[in-house]
Chains A and B, each alone.
Chain A
């Protein structure tokens, strides 16, 4: 199966700082990647769709200035949580579809804690 790598797996940051999370497709190219957020003991909610070479598409209620998404290459999408606050603490996970497959491949997830 295809491999999607997400880094870092855990990060702790201070309020007001920014954190960048990387999502890489290791053995295939992905023109689209998805970013999900999971609150404690909750399900995964789609935040945004990352499109290579163009602007990301954000779901309703997701602040695009807070969660900056960049999809600069066919194998890398980044999510930057800007001016992080404790309420941004969550589990963030990315996925990438592989061309010709209806399956989405998930990264390992990033647990963000803002103190």
Chain B
């Protein structure tokens, strides 16, 4: 069975600083990987996704992620964080054969200092 680990439960960065959120997955085949953001009390918004091809994926709001098969990682990055980026971030792995069921990581709560 697939699994996703987000090692950092909380991260605090200063506004304007760069950001990297870590995500490691375990899955026997090539995974479909996703990053979602959730603001307090809100649903999930898809930031970006990797299915195949270029391992560096660009998403919305200036986010990008890089798929590294050798490290089983799909880390999310942003060069300059804005205060509005403060939210909960979830990495997820999808299994196409299972009807696109997703397995989520535990989430990383991002706080942004002014």
Contacts and interface: CB of A to CB of B under 8 A. Distances in A.
Contacts of A101: 100
Contacts of A46: 101-103
Nearest to A51: B99
Contacts of A103: 32, 34, 46, 49, 94, 100
Interface class of chain A by DSSP: strand
Contacts of A6: 43
Q: Which of B41, B51, B99 has the largest number of chain A CB atoms within 10 A?
A: B99
A102 B51 contact: yes
Interface in B58-111: 90, 94, 96, 99-107, 109
Interface of A: 6, 32, 34, 36, 41-46, 49, 93, 95, 97, 101-104, 106-109, 111
Contacts of A108: 42-43
B44 interface: yes
10 contacts: A34-B100, A36-B104, A44-B90, A44-B104, A45-B104, A102-B96, A103-B34, A104-B100, A104-B101, A106-B46
